[in-house]
Amino acid sequence: MAVLPQFAVADIRYDFLFQEATSRRLSGHIDEAMALYGHCLKLDSKRPEALFEMGRLQLALRADSIAIEMMKKAADTDSLNANYQENVAAVMIQRHMDDDAVVYLERLVRLQPKRSEVQMQLVDYYRRSGEIEKALQGLEAIEKREGRTLVTTNEKFELYMEQGDSAKAFREYESLCDETPYDVAAKIQYGRLCQYYGDTLRARILFDEARKVGPEETELMLLRSDAVSLLQREAPEEEIISVFNKILALQPDDEMVMGYLMEYYGKKEDYEHLEELCRRGMNLFPENLGYAYFLGITLMQQKKMAEAIEVFERGLEKRGEDMKPSLISEVWGLKGDACHEVGRSEDAFLAYDSALVYNKGNITYLNNYAYYLSLRGERLDEAEKMSRLTIKAEPNNPIYLDTYAWILFIKKEYLEAKDVMNKVVPPDSTDEALLENRYCMSNVLEHAGDIAWNVGKKEEAVRFWRLAMERNDGTATILLSRKLKNKKYYAK
């Protein structure tokens, strides 16, 4: 029988252990994989593949310093392995170790010279470290391979300006415009730079040249440039909005601009403009449920409940598969609120059920569902359970406490209801304090009065009914005036 040389036996054993370790790693048995990689390194502590894999596992276990040293050793041992160089550089950059990462990025560029994104990382590093000539050489290497672009030209412009050589800087843009005579963006960027540095005549010539190539595209780019400038200068909102509206007139499907305008008109409670934008969004992007969400809220604010319900239904029907469950839950919940407002109680309860399917912890609609069930005197035990969940989530929320107190009241658990309601409407508060409390709306004060009456505190009840009448915000029941006039509680 032939005898294998000792080194061959070691190699066979190493290969077996390494393959077994990799198999364990891929199947999720990390501890076993680490132990086997450790055996590999005992056989040969310089094998880069074992060092690299062990380093990656240490990284996953947050042993960063050990991991980086092992991965560096692997990359230094096998300096022709592009994968090692790239991974080590990425780990270092993530940990802000740029000075250490540059060695591995430089190796990676030599190994894969067509990787322009890696070259640009080096350019950025050289610029930050003040090595302007190296940064310029990197950009020229990219341009030699791929031709001049607006990105590389702008980088070179800024580098030459940092060197104080404005003639070379502007010559870069001149060359780009000569090489790409139909590139509107290049002419506009060059024109803006001329404008910024005081050469308004040259800027006007460049803008006119751009308009001849693409008039609408030019106007759009100029407006976008104006918008960026106004935002950077923190100009008055009215000026920014004017420019954004002009952009939208030229490009009606610009979602970024639409989003900015929706936020602005929402803050202004300008429902007319907000409604128009939301409808535009729903028509252009029916799969984006966000537009139905905002449009429905806008319509509800205007008391257009039937229209809001239709919008919510259409949005839910057309929504894309990538919509977040939390957003779907909100839209179902809002539909439930709108259905309740128009007297469609059964539809409201079905909508709340759907809202809770998509987000069982949506306490806003748990509360609304529970409250509306209590108003109808239905499924009170279930309503109490839902209300308890909202209190558990936000124990000091007066809206949820009012709901819980009211459910207990409907269940004739008057003393417990009174204990809860005292947290919402403290009897020792002054009239002025209660009327100034935004949570003490007419219906809440009326609830407090009803509960007080049923625990024998009649003077307190009359006081709360009087305050409910003074608040007069339209939320009290039609029985309030009768209760106050006769100083007596009346059930529905």
Rg (CA), the chain: 35
Chain mean position to CA 113: 36
Residue 369: give its domain's CATH number: 1.25.40
Question: Is 280 a domain residue?
Answer: yes
Instruction: Tell me the C-alpha distance between 276 and 299, whole Å.
Output: 11
- With contact defined as beta carbons under 8 Å apart, do 64 and 95 qualify? yes
Q: Looking at residue 6, what is its pLDDT?
A: 43
Are both 333 and 412 inside the same structural domain?
no
Instruction: Tell me the C-alpha distance between 307 and 312, whole Å.
Output: 9
Are both 366 and 335 inside the same structural domain?
no
Question: Is 155 a domain residue?
Answer: no
Question: Is 409 a domain residue?
Answer: yes
Domains contained in the chain, number: 4
Question: Is 244 a domain residue?
Answer: no
- With contact defined as beta carbons under 8 Å apart, do 425 and 444 qualify? yes
Structure tokens that stand for 27 in this block: 């199947």
- With contact defined as beta carbons under 8 Å apart, do 386 and 370 qualify? yes
Are both 377 and 415 inside the same structural domain?
yes
Question: Is 235 a domain residue?
Answer: no
Are both 396 and 455 inside the same structural domain?
no
Q: Looking at residue 473, what is its pLDDT?
A: 87
Pick the closest to residue 329 from 363, 283, 297, 303 (CA basis): 363
Are both 262 and 335 inside the same structural domain?
yes
- With contact defined as beta carbons under 8 Å apart, do 442 and 472 qualify? yes
Question: Is 350 a domain residue?
Answer: no
Number of residues written out for the chain? 492
Instruction: Tell me the C-alpha distance between 273 and 262, whole Å.
Output: 8
Q: How far is CA 168 from CA 160, 174, 178, 413, 420, in A?
A: 6, 10, 15, 85, 76
Per-residue pLDDT of the chain (492 residues; tens, 9 = 90+): 443 444 445 577 888 888 888 888 888 888 888 899 898 998 888 899 999 999 989 888 888 889 999 999 999 999 999 999 999 999 998 888 989 999 999 999 999 999 999 999 999 999 999 999 999 999 999 999 999 999 999 999 999 999 999 999 999 999 999 999 999 999 999 999 998 899 999 999 999 999 999 999 999 999 988 888 888 888 899 999 999 999 999 999 999 999 999 999 999 999 999 999 999 999 999 999 999 999 999 999 999 999 999 999 999 999 999 999 999 999 999 999 999 999 999 999 999 999 999 999 899 999 999 999 998 889 999 999 999 999 999 999 999 999 999 999 999 999 999 999 999 999 999 999 999 998 899 999 999 999 999 999 999 999 999 999 998 888 888 999 999 899 998 887
Degrees, nearest 5: CA angle 386-392-396? 115
Structure tokens that stand for 155 in this block: 């980088």
Q: Looking at residue 103, what is its pLDDT?
A: 93
Are both 451 and 386 inside the same structural domain?
no
What domain range includes position 70? 12-112
Are both 460 and 490 inside the same structural domain?
yes
Are both 66 and 106 inside the same structural domain?
yes
Residue 291: give its domain's CATH number: 1.25.40.10
Question: Is 325 a domain residue?
Answer: yes
Q: Looking at residue 10, what is its pLDDT?
A: 58
Q: How far is CA 75 from CA 63, 90, 129, 475, in A?
A: 18, 13, 24, 72
Q: Which of 82, 112, 142 is the last residue of a domain?
A: 112
Are both 83 and 21 inside the same structural domain?
yes
Q: Which of 372, 407, 424 is the last residue of a domain?
A: 424
Instruction: Tell me the C-alpha distance between 273 and 260, whole Å.
Output: 12
Secondary structure E strands in 286-376? none
Structure tokens that stand for 288 in this block: 């984006």
Are both 66 and 101 inside the same structural domain?
yes
Question: Is 322 a domain residue?
Answer: yes
Are both 18 and 102 inside the same structural domain?
yes
Degrees, nearest 5: CA angle 82-85-87? 105
Instruction: Tell me the C-alpha distance between 224 and 206, whole Å.
Output: 17
> What number of other Cβ atoms are within 10 A of residue 309's Cβ?
25
Q: Which of 424, 447, 469 is the last residue of a domain?
A: 424
Are both 438 and 475 inside the same structural domain?
yes
Instruction: Tell me the C-alpha distance between 383 and 248, whole Å.
Output: 47
Q: Looking at residue 382, what is its pLDDT?
A: 93
